[in-house]
Chain A
Amino acid sequence: MRTLHKFHGGVHPPTHKAESTRTPIAQAAIPSKLVISLHQHVGGRAKPIVQVGERVLKGQKIGLSQGRQSSGVHASTSGTVTAIDMQLVAHPSGLPDLCITIVPDGKDEWIEHSGADLKNTPHSELRHKLRKAGVVGLGGAVFPSDLKADAHRHKITTLVLNGAECEPYITCDDMLMRERAADILSGAELLRELLQAEEVLIGIEDNKPEAIAAMKRAIQDGRHERMEAIPVPTMYPSGGAKQLIRILTGIEVAHGVRSTEMGVQCFNVATAYSVWRALAHGEPLISRVVTVTGNVERAQNYEVLIGTPVNELVALAGNKPDTDRYIMGGPMMGVNLPAATVGVIKATNCIIAMSDALFPPAPPALPCIRCTRCADVCPAELQPQELYWFAKAKEFGKAQQYHLFDCIECGACSYVCPSHIPLVQYYTFAKSEIRARAEEKRNADRARERHEFREYRVEREKQEKAEKLAAKEKAAKEQAIKTQLASESALTETGAARPLETVQPEAALPKE
């Protein structure tokens, strides 16, 4: 038996997972339209490469990745592009972002695609294929997988596969592991190959016995070596990458450190599945499993096309009339959706229909009584009450000193706070304010430099002009003298009258 490690804190919110695991994953019907965001990943927004009115095929690339950290975006089914414009998206700001709207033609016609020759394609080529296929982390972080599947010359001992799924209500990974374990493991083998990792550890919370059994069976059937499905104790947030790495290997990856530097890398099970589909079958990431639960008649998991409007998806599960809002993700870290019409994105693991009856609003917040229940449960081992104090007083320097940026925003602290303080909101506020200020400072510094340089340049030009003028005058004078002398025919000119070149210390100046 492997010895598991513990992380500090954690909470046990009611899980509500049984509701959505009664039936297998169903195929969601093709919706009336698809609203596909061009910014579904961490990094640069993809550039649209189709025109309004153009017919696109299923799997056709419609957004080109921009910059080193970016990912491609594809049409989820065949149809016609009807708009490329700003639409509301699943983002906490509630602001619109660039989306491509496609009206499906119902034919679901694939673009020509085929798998790669997995044995003989070089790793860099495979990674490029992942990027082109738009494969990103499906656990919620949506970080481009091609970048994560690169060990950066570090020796990777352990590849951790994250099947913990610790958030209440969400069961998409659970069902995926039950039904498609073999493909997940094949994906894991590919990732192991890309990372040159030694062992593969799959962490699954022990409240999912069926998934654990399925994965164990698949490991045996597929004769996977040095691969193990490990039940981990149910405890939110054991599915946090850092927490799961800690549980399985004992390694603590500090903030600002890449886990590869410590010899570990972590992928979500659903990502491993998509990696397999992308490389072995050439299918880009155009659909994913989404749990639809909460205030619905039949909570269930669906295989959903990316871009499917949330309201059409929830309607499949039988929305109840008193649903008044939706969240994407789980109740601990999810995002309140600005509208029911936003499209499903790659990060959408779960849609919860909410009503006041199901999720009663918390009582009004009271002042912090320093009871440290929050510190007791904080998996990052922070002192949330201090962070709250500093963030509230906008003492950002202090907040950073108390490791604000180590906070993983898991919400455990807010969950237990007896004063019902929205702690995480204070942290996200402080973080975004600090980032904005750093940016402002960078801009101001650059402006200062440019201004100083300009002043210097103006000064230098003035000086040059003055010197030229002086030289001219001097020359004129000399000319006059010369003529005078010439006229006197007594002396000849020496060569010293040429003006000195001005020294150009430009190179010594700071460049932007």
Chain B
Amino acid sequence: MSAFFAPFLNKPDSVSQIMFKVLLALIPGIALYVWYFGPAILVSITLASITALATEAAMLKLRDRPIAPFLKDNSALLTAWLLALSIPPLAPWWMVVVGTAFAISVSKHLYGGLGNNPFNPAMIGYAVLIISFPVHMTHWITPHGLGQVELSFIDQLGYIFGGALPPNVTLDAVTMATPLDTLKTHLHLDEHVNQILDMPIYGRLAGQGSEMVAWGFLLGGLYLLASRIISWHIPVAYLGTLLLTSGIFHLADPAHYVTPLFHWFSGAAMIGAFFILTDPVTSPTTQKGKLIFAAMAGLITYLIRAFGGFPDGIAFATLLMNICVPLIDAWTQPPVFGNKETKP
């Protein structure tokens, strides 16, 4: 803002502060993650952060833009954290690096950098990884106390960077499929929902451990709502639709369809509702548009979870809806002051 044209005042608020608060809001979830699954996630978050900052700097340099103000805006860090949180912590280091670098360089900077990317960069990174390395993307750490063996932090580091496990330990012994994935596999074997949920990997509402992480993200999300970083529209519409659709199926056929709460606290539903779908750059700007956007994303998530080929559907739901954002925005322009009856 120039000093020569009004307004001469600015609210002390900045992109970097907003992004910083979002990062802050992720911390309860991450803390619980570490508690239940060990510190490996911190390694991938650090790795992703470094990669993101380096890629951001390199791209800014290539595009001949000033580096400092953009590096300070914290948006690359947020992309990095979200991506790291959506892939298995034990993923080999190069996967994290490739995914993050791709997210920042291609899906952010090739589209024009901050504010101009139509797709959520973290979700693009995720999609690229799950399509390119599907097997690696299924090895999730078994939560604390459930596996036969537990890897020490040193062993985890060894695996992430060297790909080697300690002797006598197989990969299957320390990892497992996600609760959503397991559910799907067992449903395909014609097992009953209650029977499946009795397996030790399930906790009170959903996956053992992962449900607690979801609580953490919910907590962070509520903080974002309270501090007005995000508006209620997207989380409410998203979780609401998820609740509604899964509720209908569950009521109709409880033997084959799990409860809405299971859906809420499984996979990336919570982090998606509060942190991923709410990315301002890639979501609609009108309130009505936000509701439609999130409701559709909720529906697609459920359809993919219940009937699709992938265990979780948030990434694809997000990306699919990202495409529709300009259209949704154009169609949901609210009437302006004085024109309430006649819509524009």
Contact = CB atoms under 8 A, between A and B. Distances in A.
B7 interface: yes
B13 interface: yes
B114 A335 contact: no
A485 to B, nearest CB: 80
A257 B339 CA distance: 11
B293 to A, nearest CB: 12
30 contacts: A7-B337, A13-B11, A14-B9, A242-B337, A254-B337, A254-B338, A255-B336, A255-B337, A327-B8, A331-B9, A356-B3, A367-B115, A367-B116, A368-B115, A369-B15, A369-B75, A369-B114, A369-B281, A372-B285, A382-B336, A402-B344, A403-B344, A411-B7, A418-B14, A419-B15, A419-B115, A420-B10, A422-B2, A422-B5, A424-B7
B13 A383 contact: no
Contacts of B69: 363-364, 366
B184 to A, nearest CB: 35
Nearest to B325: A370
B6 A366 contact: no
Given A254-B338, A364-B69, A370-B115, A420 B9 contact: no
Interface in A310-350: 325, 327, 329, 331-336
B285 A254 contact: no
Interface of B: 1-11, 13-15, 17-18, 66, 69-70, 73, 75, 112-116, 231, 280-281, 283, 285-286, 329, 333-340, 344
A90 to B, nearest CB: 13
Contacts of A242: 337-338
A362 B337 contact: no
Contacts of A366: 15, 69-70, 73, 114-115
Contacts of B73: 366
If over half of A's interface residues share one DSSP class (helix, strand or loop), that class is named, otherwise mixed; here it is: loop
A396 to B, nearest CB: 17
Contacts of B13: 373, 416, 418
A372 B1 contact: no
Contacts of B14: 363, 418-420
Interface of A: 7-8, 11, 13-14, 92, 168, 242, 246, 252-255, 257, 325, 327, 329, 331-336, 354, 356, 359, 361-373, 375, 379-383, 385-386, 401-403, 406, 411, 414-422, 424-425
A254 B342 CA distance: 11
B1 A418 contact: no
Nearest to A329: B6
Contact of B286 (A356, A380, A383, A411): A383
Nearest to A408: B337
A359 B2 CA distance: 11
Contacts of A334: 6, 8
Contacts of B70: 366
A381 B9 contact: no
Contacts, number: 151
If over half of B's interface residues share one DSSP class (helix, strand or loop), that class is named, otherwise mixed; here it is: loop
A406 B336 CA distance: 8
B6 A332 contact: yes
A438 B262 CA distance: 60
B2 A361 contact: yes
Nearest to B13: A418
Contacts of A417: 10
Nearest to B342: A254
B8 A370 contact: no
B11 A380 contact: no
Given A254-B338, A366-B15, A415 B10 contact: yes
Nearest to B112: A367
B9 A359 contact: yes
Contact of A362 (B1, B283, B335): B1
B337 A381 contact: yes
Given A366-B114, A367-B113, A403-B344, A372 B280 contact: yes
Contacts of B280: 369-372
Contacts of A327: 6, 8
A27 B142 CA distance: 81
Nearest to A336: B4
A78 B280 CA distance: 62
Nearest to A361: B3
Given A168-B9, A381-B335, A403-B336, 4 more contacts: A367-B113, A369-B115, A415-B10, A424-B7
Contacts of B66: 364
A364 B116 CA distance: 18
B15 A381 contact: no
Contacts of A333: 6-7
Nearest to B329: A386
